[in-house]
Amino acid sequence: MSGSFVKWIDYSLVPFCFLVLGKLLGLYIVISNLGIEWGVADFIGSFFSATPLVYGRDIQVVSTYSDVIMFGLIFVGTALQVFLLITRNHIQLTGKIKDVLIWANFDIWQETGAARQKLNVWIAYLLVAVLVIFFDFMSLKVPFWLLTTAILLTMMLVAAIATAGKEHEKELKQTNKYDFTL
């Protein structure tokens, strides 16, 4: 495997865990706190041999809350990546906070190109979360407001990234530095 492919896989592990754990954590929280009945069914020919089953009257509540938690985790992770990328030259952190950020794969002391690649991966997973919500909406498992909110928040975050990139470019042109990376 090429080195860049291994980097992309490495960058995608944390957002993938946020996506999957957010969905599972949402399912667990909703089912345990609301006392929703659920079971395990065995569907012949399915991808998984045992599939969790939530009864029809509760499927919308469970899907809505689990999608909210999943999207929230991915959105916060992406927003943190944007914040760290924008402020990486101006930030002063203590040793413990640096250790936690590096452990969580939020390394802000890396090359700009690597930080941009990592941000691209987080944005891709944010779009995957929006697609999950879209497919849940199309199968009538989540309400329209959730899909609309997810799309609007994603668009606002992408617009903030674009605006920050243009501001950074202006700042560099004024100081006669021609490094147009964010």
Residue 173 lies in a domain: no
- The CA–CA distances, whole Å, from 37 to 53, 137, 181 equal 9, 22, 52
Residue 71 lies in a domain: yes
Instruction: Give the count of domains, the chain.
Output: 1
Residue 182 lies in a domain: no
Residue 35 lies in a domain: yes
Backbone phi, psi, residue 53, to 5°: -130, 125
Q: Please identify which residue in the block is written with the tokens 């809505």.
A: 64
Residue 128 lies in a domain: yes
Residue 132 lies in a domain: yes
CB 36 within 8 A of CB 62: yes
**Model confidence pLDDT, tens digit, residues 4-58:** 777 778 788 889 998 999 988 988 898 888 887 777 676 676 665 556 667 777 8
DSSP string spanning 96-117?
A: HHHHHHHHTT---SS-HHHHHH
Residue 75 lies in a domain: yes
**Model confidence pLDDT, tens digit, residues 82-93:** 887 777 655 555
Q: Which residues pair with 53 in a beta bridge?
A: 39
Q: What is the pTM of this model?
A: 0.76
CB 123 within 8 A of CB 77: no
Residue 53 lies in a domain: yes
Other beta carbons within 10 angstroms of residue 120's beta carbon come to: 13
Q: Domain limits at 96?
A: 3-167
Residue 168 burial (10 A CB sphere; 0-12, 13-18, 19+): middle
